[in-house]
Amino acid sequence: MKAINLNQNAFAAAGSSKKFILLGDPSIEQEPMLSQVVMPKINKTTARKVPGLWGTLGMMNDTPVDWQGNLKFSEYGNDSSGGVTLEEIELIYSANPQLDNKHLKVTERFISFEDVEFGFPSEFTLDEIPKFRLTLMLDADEGALVYYQYGHTNDRDGENGSIGYIQPEKTTNHNVDNRDRLTYLFEALPSMQIVENTGKGDGHYLLSNVSRNPVKFLIKVLTYKRGTYANSKEAVLNQTGSIAHIFEKESKLVIFKNGSFVQCQGSDVQTDLKTLLLIHGTFSTTAGSYGALIDSGWLQNMIDTGSYGQVIGFDHPTVFEDAVGNINTLISFFAGMQFLYPVDVMGSSQGGLLAQHLANLPAGQKPFVVDKVALVASANGVAYVNTAYGLSKMLSVLKVVFKNSKPALALICSLAQHSIAFFIGQPGIDLMKPGSQRLTDIMDNHPDDPGTKYLPIIDDFTKEVVKDDNLFAKLAAMGFDLLIRPIMGKYNDWVVQTPNQFIVPAAYSAIQPYNPGDFLKYTYPAIHGKCLDKKEVQTEIGFFLA
């Protein structure tokens, strides 16, 4: 570890401009190494990686660095980690079998701002929060993961900490084999808790006199040899493919038997039985999105009481495919088949959009009539996707939402290593983007069958959620809920705005009279999609579908 006093000597390479700090071992500051090797690399006059130099740190807008105090960072890095960092490293290993933990390892580095004063304003808007630029120097075959590590000062390894992903800026054509560096932009974290400045209205904040808890402001950098790929999509697909034993990216049908879902073929589904179809959400599976209904016995009870003769699910890709492609695949499983009874559908999160697209299709294009549709926290427009750095926050929240699903965490970890622009451009993410053609085609349409009914089940983040879950409490203590409000609005479940979840065609709503402005009357306190854990929600859906 190196600790530097932020005086003029800390900016030897930057000269009087004081625009960046070199990150690396002591050799990079010595002449002639500094002027003849290091600076040409920084100025992009050479692509050769410089031994000992792993990055530079400065302000996002390239203004002089006027911080005070002591900055600490890794000189060399280490390959022995613990706590939440080890958890991330294990996800990287699971997606990269070439890493054998002997000859090829993940290297951990850090930057600590704990003893740095960087002029955080006492009153501010989001645009006025200090923002930094970290540039990592990498080989073409190196992957990198960068994140905030939240924790207490005395919790060195983050045993009880949590993380917030920071995604890199876009590379040309999202290439990953023709770049020698990646740039990361991130916001400062104040030492005091953030509160709303009610005197100035929405979007204005103050620093309170209460210390932020957890207080640590630490940036972690993990690098590793990941092989050479042409672009971000190829890299992510290779990684998700290499963890196929825990993450199945191919579409498949599953059927509920003896208390769990098992893979089946379309021909295994009986068309003469009353059927419930489940469609899962982003980064999930049928068992993942509807685990609460399995564990509580709700699904089995729906069969035992005769409400349904069978329950089937549709596992499908949620990032690299949209509603049209996925539903076409679902229908193809039932080629030449026609169901005797109308089918009920439950769609969770992004699955709610797939359910609506399925209902909208003309009768001649699908093998059954869609009758009742329960929409659980339907992703009818996710504002993160419209905001420059919203996707990093969304991935960080989803990491908490899917904390018990290693397959989802592995995919989220892989996606966090690539640019926001790459992520937003994928069909499954564009599907949830407010104003996108994919979303508009669904939301501006209505079910083909006049008898179809929608029941929106909506959730909202409240203090009750914080009380019930320690991880959400940590994020809330850092002011996360306040910081996403300008993106998500006052009412949200940390992934989808609560009012958006309630939007359905009025004539097809099971709630009558239907008024989209009445959403608060029907809201359950829960983080995204977790309202299914509640007994009262299961009861409401059961009454609707019965």
**pLDDT of 507:** 98
Q: Quick check: 193 and 211 in contact, CB under 8 A?
A: yes
**pLDDT of 443:** 98
| 3 state SS for 476-495 | HHCCHHHHHHHHHCCCECCC
Return left, alpha or beta for 283; rule: phi > 0 is left, psi -120 to 50 is alpha, else beta: left
Burial 23-52, CB ≥16 within 10 A → b, else e: bbbeebbeeebeeebbbebbeeeeeebbeb
Alpha-carbon gap, residue 315 to 490, rounded angstroms: 33
Q: Which helix (H) or strand (E) holds 253?
A: strand 252-257
Please choose, from the candidates 194, 228, 272, the residue with its C-alpha nearest in 3D space to the C-alpha of residue 482.
194
Instruction: For residue 340, count CB atoms less than 10 angstroms from its CB and return exposed for 0-12, middle for 13-18, buried for 19 or more.
Output: exposed
Please choose, from the candidates 393, 310, 293, the residue with its C-alpha nearest in 3D space to the C-alpha of residue 344.
310
**pTM of the complete model:** 0.80
Work out the angle at residue 350's Cα, subtended by the Cα atoms of residues 348 and 351, and round it to the nearest 5 degrees. Answer: 50
Alpha-carbon gap, residue 155 to 340, rounded angstroms: 60
**Intra-chain end-to-end CA distance of the chain, in Å:** 63
The DSSP output letter for 284 is: -
**pLDDT of 358:** 99
In this structure, the chain runs to a length of: 546
Q: Quick check: 215 and 191 in contact, CB under 8 A?
A: yes
Strands 343-348 and 275-279: parallel
Task: Give the 3-state secondary structure of residue 109.
Answer: strand
**pLDDT of 246:** 43
Cβ atoms within 10 A of the Cβ of 121, count? 13
Alpha-carbon gap, residue 470 to 235, rounded angstroms: 34
Task: Give the 3-state secondary structure of residue 81.
Answer: coil
Provide φ and ψ at 530, rounded to 5°: -85, 0
pLDDT tens, the chain, 546 aa long? 666 666 555 565 555 566 888 999 988 888 898 888 888 888 887 777 889 999 999 999 888 888 888 899 999 988 878 888 888 988 888 777 777 666 678 999 999 988 888 878 888 887 888 899 999 999 888 889 999 887 655 555 555 667 889 988 887 766 666 788 999 999 888 877 788 888 887 778 888 887 765 566 889 999 998 766 655 566 666 655 555 444 445 799 999 999 999 999 999 999 999 999 999 998 889 999 999 999 999 999 999 999 999 999 999 988 889 999 999 999 999 999 999 999 999 999 999 999 999 999 999 999 999 999 999 999 999 988 877 667 788 888 778 777 777 777 887 888 788 777 777 778 999 999 999 999 999 999 999 999 999 999 999 987 666 555 555 555 555 556 556 767 788 899 888 999 999 999 999 999 999 999 999 999 999 988 899 999 999 999 999 998
Alpha-carbon gap, residue 164 to 394, rounded angstroms: 10
Amino acid at 372: K
Domains and CATH numbers, the chain: 2-231 (no CATH), 243-387+425-545 (3.40.50)
Measured N-to-C along each axis, helices 323-332 and 350-360 cross at an angle, to the nearest 10 degrees, of 60
Alpha-carbon gap, residue 13 to 27, rounded angstroms: 12
Q: Quick check: 260 and 299 in contact, CB under 8 A?
A: no
Q: Quick check: 22 and 2 in contact, CB under 8 A?
A: no
Task: Give the 3-state secondary structure of residue 145.
Answer: strand
DSSP-assigned letters across all residues of 44-72: TS--SPPTTEEEEEEETT-PPP--EEEEE
What token pair was written down for 333? 């499983």
Alpha-carbon gap, residue 278 to 262, rounded angstroms: 13
**pLDDT of 353:** 98
Coarse DSSP helix, strand, coil percentages of the chain, rounded to the nearest 5 percent: 35, 25, 40
Please choose, from the candidates 373, 368, 376, 371, the residue with its C-alpha nearest in 3D space to the C-alpha of residue 269.
368
